[in-house]
Amino acid sequence: MGHPAAISRSGKESNINTISKSRIERFVLVLPALGLFTFFVVVPFVQGVVYSFTNWDGVSRTYDFVGFRNYLLLFSDPELLLPIKNTLIFTAITVVGVNALGLGIALLLNFQFRASSFFRSLFFFPIVMSLVMVSYIWSYLFSGFFAPVLGITGVLSNPKTVMFGIAGIALWRDAGFAMVTYHAALVAVPGDLIAAVTIDGASPFQKFRHVVFPLIAPAVTINVTLWLGWGLRVFDYVAAATRGGPGNASMTVAFQVYKMTFVYNKVGYGQTAAIIMMIVILVLAITTTSLLKRREVDL
């Protein structure tokens, strides 16, 4: 028989080799995804940071380094005031509206009735529709239905109402996605706990405020953070519905970055705006997530 110390060392070495082999196998499995992420995300990001210190126009093979000139121009550019305002308006409406509608619909459909599954599918259906199709539908509704029936004219062609119209399209399309998240959270709320507080005489509002809402707080954190990020970088709704018009009335920060980069061929300046926008979104998202997580309750 071998010495006990030698056997112990042999067992430890075997465990270490097994753990090392397992780590290598996991690394090999994630290596393709890591390579794609590096090629499509990390490399373009690094290139964008480099271009933000240049005057490259996106076409020429040569460019000059201009230091922080693009950053200084960005923070003193009056043309960014309207895109920032429009982006904040859109973000505020969608973050509040989408979450309120999604939660309200989820609460209504949480009651089990025969057609509840049908209505969940119905409310979720807009999110799977093409954004271009959705824009055409609502452009027709704004001009062909709301105008003669409700007397509301030129929602998307009026500079004073265009951002509210675009936000309305986003509310209609995105509320179903938030509804699914909230419904999944509501289903996970223990029924025994609801029954207990009902026996104690809690009103429906008290049950929601003190029991249901704290338990679905993780879903609130997810949805608020998602739509905060999506709202601050909104591009697709503007591009599909108005192309920034009428004039520049619906211009957002992301659409301004697109125009600077690909229309005006100011790649260096456009990349500078994109980097600043990314930093702002990242800071706000992290801050919002940390604040909302304080209200979460673990079962």
Same domain, residue pair 20 and 95: no
Domain count, the chain: 2
Same domain, residue pair 102 and 13: no
Same domain, residue pair 85 and 20: no
pLDDT at 197: 86
Backbone angles phi, psi at 52, to 5 degrees: -65, -15
Same domain, residue pair 94 and 34: no
- pLDDT tens per residue across span 176-205: 999 999 999 999 888 888 888 888 888 888
Enter the pTM of the model. Answer: 0.86
Same domain, residue pair 28 and 151: no
Q: What angle do CA 94, 95, 97 make, to 5 degrees?
A: 60
Backbone angles phi, psi at 54, to 5 degrees: -130, 175
3-class DSSP state for residue 65? strand
Buried b (16+ CB within 10 A) or exposed e, 126-136: bbeeebeebbe
Q: Are 202 and 130 in contact (CB under 8 A)?
A: no
The answer to whether residue 25 is domain-embedded is yes
pLDDT at 87: 96
pLDDT at 16: 58
In this prediction, the residues of the chain whose per-residue pLDDT falls under 50 are: 7
Same domain, residue pair 47 and 124: no
What's the length of the chain? 299
pLDDT at 237: 93
pLDDT at 95: 97
Range of the domain at 188: 71-293
Quote the CA–CA distance of 188 and 263 in Å, as a whole number.
49
Which 3-state string (H, E, C) describes 139-189? HHHHHHHHHHHHCCCCCCCCCCCHHHHHHHHHHHHHHHHHHHHHHHHHHCC
Same domain, residue pair 89 and 137: yes
Same domain, residue pair 205 and 238: yes
